[in-house]
């Protein structure tokens, strides 16, 4: 049975390949491959796709961590963004090349499309339009972040498709049984025991992976609890095996997508000790925030010895109303202790960072500025985490494009200029630590 799998374009004002890979989708595809399915995979965001060699004047550039700019084409701006004085773009493979690729693909029995940010759904809508022209009457399944966080909107927009808008393993099992009468175990224990389906990529400047799935914490602002049930750890020996497999293929940058990488800390320490033991000369990146409470002296030294670059800690806010409304993870004293341990381990000012919530509802911007200064004086690079409240009760759910962090959907538009000033000021503070 043939599966055509697609990671669609990004439609946005700005986009950058900061270790962007559809990891959950890749685990699913590897599992299906192990069951005998033939996979044809098109990642529209693959900056090294061989078809890009036919694009005039396109040059691939990457930094030392494997990140770089996507190819892009300017497209008409949606009406809802008419007030935004910026160009709107399609990031990824040129649409003409995608159409040519699909014309040459063997007719699939099923088409599977993943998704990421809710406000990128126009890329899914456009790829489905093309697919229906090329492969008439072929079942199309759409999963990922967008349909799970916006089930009603995705059902309305993506007509005549199978929408995975609930817990993924259960719904995938249901789809394959209803379409083909095939019973497959799509549980975490089966899906995530494999390595991700990276064999489809011609070149890998980095590899994204996980040692755990889900999160044991219950932060109100996080959509993760709608995506995954509970918390599941992968055997550290399998994680080491994955790292060694790609390391021997020349990969030097590894990115952990874990939502709670430091939990439980003893498990992470075992994994990092094995990396140190094997003397792997790698760089490890953690784009999701680390829990400061667990960064004791031993873990901080293991970060340094195993190759962690720019450990990013979740500080979020010191504002009592935000802490009370969302969750309590860290206070200033816990953060100071974690930073102290990182400094003792050999990290210098500007070599570690913190996430601070930005533009949340009812956020006191004066407290925000004090939080930024406090973290700056600790030597932290500041990463402002633009707030986007995705809730069935939120009016923005009616139009996911308004979740875009470029337009600060959760605040009064009259504050736009002031918020941009805070961003610019934060950038200048970070430059002092460069």
pLDDT tens-place string over residues 229-279? 778 899 999 999 999 999 999 999 999 999 899 999 999 999 999 999 999
Q: State residue 412's pLDDT score.
A: 60
Averaged pLDDT score across all residues of the chain: 90
Q: Average pLDDT for residues 398-422, to the nearest whole number? A: 75
d(CA 324, CA 341): 27
Q: How much of the chain exceeds pLDDT 70, in percent?
A: 94
Q: How much of the chain exceeds pLDDT 90, in percent?
A: 70
pLDDT tens-place string over residues 165-211? 877 777 899 999 999 999 998 887 788 888 899 999 999 999 999 99
d(CA 155, CA 148): 10
Could you tell me the pLDDT band of residue 410, with boundaries at 50, 70 and 90? very low
Whether 2-189 shares its CATH topology with 206-432 is answered: no
For domain 206-432, give its CATH number from 3.40.50.2300, 2.60.40.420, 3.80.30.20, 2.40.480.10. 3.80.30.20
Q: State residue 294's pLDDT score.
A: 96
Residue spans of the domains in the chain: they are 2-189, 206-432
Lowest average pLDDT, out of 101-115, 143-157, 323-337, goes to 323-337
Task: Give every CB contact of residue 301 below 8 A, 6+ residues apart in sequence.
Answer: 344, 345
Q: State residue 56's pLDDT score.
A: 84
The domain made up of 2-189 is a member of CATH 3.40.109.10: no
With a cut of 80, say whether residue 384 has pLDDT above it: yes
Q: Residues 8, 72: contact at Cβ < 8 Å?
A: no
Q: Average pLDDT for residues 335-346, to the nearest whole number? A: 98
Q: State residue 390's pLDDT score.
A: 58
């Amino acid at each position: 049975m043939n599966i055509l799998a697609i990671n669609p374009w990004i439609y946005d004002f700005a986009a950058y390949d900061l270790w962007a890979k559809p990891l959950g989708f890749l685990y699913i595809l590897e599992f299906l491959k192990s069951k005998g399915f033939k996979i044809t995979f098109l990642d529209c965001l693959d900056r090294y796709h061989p078809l890009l060699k036919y694009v005039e004047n396109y040059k691939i550039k990457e930094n030392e961590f494997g990140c770089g700019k996507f190819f892009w084409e300017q497209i008409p701006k949606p009406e809802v963004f008419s007030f935004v004085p910026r160009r709107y773009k399609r990031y990824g493979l040129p649409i003409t090349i995608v159409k040519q690729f699909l014309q040459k693909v063997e007719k699939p029995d099923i088409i599977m499309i993943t998704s990421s940010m809710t406000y990128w759904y126009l890329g899914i809508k456009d790829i489905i339009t093309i697919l229906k022209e090329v492969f008439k009457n072929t079942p199309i399944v759409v999963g990922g972040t967008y349909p799970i966080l916006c089930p009603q909107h995705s059902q309305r927009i993506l007509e005549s498709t199978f929408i995975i808008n609930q817990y993924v393993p259960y719904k995938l099992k249901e789809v394959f049984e209803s379409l083909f009468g095939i019973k497959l175990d799509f549980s975490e224990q089966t899906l995530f025991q494999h390595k991700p389906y990276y064999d489809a990529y011609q070149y890998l400047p980095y590899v994204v992976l996980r040692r755990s799935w889900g999160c044991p914490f219950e932060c109100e602002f996080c959509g993760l609890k709608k995506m995954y049930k509970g918390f599941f750890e992968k055997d550290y020996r399998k994680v080491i095996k994955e790292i060694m497999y790609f390391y021997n293929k020349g990969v030097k940058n590894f990115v952990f997508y874990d939502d709670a990488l430091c939990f439980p800390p003893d498990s992470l320490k075992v994994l990092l000790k094995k990396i140190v033991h094997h003397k792997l000369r790698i760089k490890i990146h953690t784009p999701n925030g680390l829990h400061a409470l667990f960064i004791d002296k031993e873990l901080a030294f293991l970060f340094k010895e195993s190759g962690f670059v720019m450990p990013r800690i979740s500080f979020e806010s010191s504002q009592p109303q935000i802490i009370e409304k969302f969750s309590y993870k860290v206070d200033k004293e816990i953060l100071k202790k974690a930073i102290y341990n990182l400094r003792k381990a050999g990290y210098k000012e500007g070599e570690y960072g913190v996430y601070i919530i930005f533009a949340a509802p009812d956020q006191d911007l004066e407290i925000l500025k004090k939080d930024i200064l406090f973290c700056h004086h600790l030597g932290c690079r500041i990463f402002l985490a633009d707030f986007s409240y995705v809730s069935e009760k939120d009016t923005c759910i009616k139009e996911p494009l308004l979740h875009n962090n470029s337009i600060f959907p959760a605040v009064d538009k009259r504050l736009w200029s002031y918020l941009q000033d805070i961003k610019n000021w934060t950038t200048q503070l970070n430059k002092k630590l460069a």
